[in-house]
Amino acid sequence: MTEVTQEDLDKLSTRINELTAEASKYHKRAQTAEQVNSDREAELETAKTAKLIEDGKLKELNESLTSDLDKYKSDIEGYKGKAELYDADQVSQRDALIAKLPEDERDELKDLPLLALKAVVKRIETKPPPKIDEQGRPLTRGEEDWRAKYPTKGDLIKRNRPLYDKLKAEGKI
């Protein structure tokens, strides 16, 4: 395995800085190009409007603008419907996930972002329930081990009397 030296880290850091600067330069270039394009589109629209006015086609311009406005209104209505469906779906998913949480944790976790809430619920659902003994008490890790080795009290007494005596003294048997 090769060892990374401080010189290697410095070179890497320098290269990262160079690439970041280059990316920033291209980003600015793209923003400038988008602005120029937007400005030109606005100029073309203004020129088109001026030409229509000049040609006496104001009525045609009005119809064109009204048509565009109607199109935008219908687009907005379509987006509103989709947004409402999306919001309803988000609420439904959130409610279903919160219902899967233990009641004492619901208030604490209800404000989590949806993705985080999904992760928490998944973790809770995949966590196996604790094993319990005959009296209904949860078993500790050590108890699980000896119970797996000695399934019955008789096995424990025969095969490991000191452990049996210890567990009996602790009240675990």
User: What b/e readout covers 21-36, taking b as 16+ CB neighbours within 10 angstroms?
Assistant: eeeeeeeeeeeeeeee
Backbone angles phi, psi at 110, to 5 degrees: -65, -25
Tokens for 46? 């203004």
- Pick 160 or 58 by higher pLDDT: 160
Domain with 144, as residue range(s), is 129-173
Q: Is residue 169 part of a domain?
A: yes
Question: 8 lies in a domain?
Answer: no
106/51 same-domain check: no
Q: Establish how many alpha carbons lie within 13 A of residue 77's alpha carbon, considering only the half-sphere containing its beta carbon.
A: 6
The 10s digit of each residue's pLDDT in 51-97 is 877 776 677 778 888 888 989 898 898 888 888 988 999 999 999 99
Q: What is the pLDDT of residues 95-138, one digit of tens each?
A: 999 999 888 888 888 898 989 989 988 888 887 776 776 666 66
Q: Is the pTM of this model over 0.85?
A: no
CB 133 within 8 A of CB 143: yes
Give the number of domains in the chain. Answer: 3
Domain assignment present for residue 4? The answer is: no
In a domain, 143, yes or no: yes
Judge whether 63 lies within some domain.
yes
Token duo for residue 149: 């080795």
